[in-house]
Amino acid sequence: MRTKELVEVIRFLKETLPSIKRITSYGRSDTAARKKLDELIELHQAGLSRLHIGLETGYDPLLEYIYTGVTAARHITGGRRVVESGISLCEYVILGLGGREMWREHAIHTARVLSEIDPDYIRVRTLTIINGMPLYDEVENGNFIRATDEEILEEEKLLIEHLECHSNYVSDHITNLLQEIEGKLPQDKEKMLATIDRFQALPPEEKVNFRVGRRVGIYNQLDDLYDWQRREVVERFVHRLSQGSNQIDEKTIYALMERFI
């Protein structure tokens, strides 16, 4: 939308519904980069409170692979311009997007881009792949190998370690294994990393139990492992899904997670 028309819409909303406390919009880095700073400031002054932008990744080869039509540099330009305008910015990252091949580069380069943007919020979502997506075909033909929950946690750990910003890190989505990895950067970085360490230190059977409990929607946090009523229900799921072996196929875990999408 042209800035002049969008300003008119926002002002109309504020005038018609004076009880509105916040107006937010989804947007693209490329759109933000094409608008002049003065335009974004005008939108903010009119009442645009926050923009949600899908960064997805800061690694250029991966951005090209998933056909986003934007580069890491463009993400930085657009993101910085939003921040400078005073509009609150929330950037979204997809954990697991690099699969097993590009996970390390995905984590490190995404952290670099986010650190340069320094958004108010970083929100993480875990990759889900559903039949009909181009990436589904890539998985089927062996061109893309999905990362497991444990591998994605190692990726998230690397991402957090390399973040040098002042953002609120938010993990508010059912697809994320550990939703409790949240906090204000940089002061809560060690606390968030400690949560990952805590999961990684669990015995193998406890990891299986927690992963299944999360993927069927029974567990919300690691401490739920010690809620014996919930645990008993999860153990029955594990027994049924593993046919008594306590070994769960990764495809089963993916299928459980993707029921929520």
Helix 204-215 and helix 250-258: axis angle, to 10°? 30
Domain 3-201 class, CATH top level: alpha beta
- Per-residue pLDDT band for 145 (boundaries 50, 70, 90) equals very high
Mean pLDDT, residues 187-192 taken together: 98
Mean pLDDT, residues 226-255 taken together: 92
Average pLDDT, the chain: 96
Mean pLDDT, residues 210-229 taken together: 96
Amino acid at 154: E
Segment 24-74, tens digit of pLDDT: 999 999 999 999 999 999 999 999 999 999 999 999 999 999 998 999 999
CB 151 within 8 A of CB 100: yes
Segment 82-108, tens digit of pLDDT: 999 999 999 999 999 999 999 999 999
Segment 149-166, tens digit of pLDDT: 999 999 999 999 999 999
- What does the pLDDT read at residue 95? 98
Look up the pTM and report it.
0.95
**DSSP three-state, residue 243:** coil
- What does the pLDDT read at residue 260? 86
Q: Return the structure tokens found at 77.
A: 């330009």
Stretch(es) of the chain classified as CATH 3.30.750.200: 3-201
- What does the pLDDT read at residue 243? 87
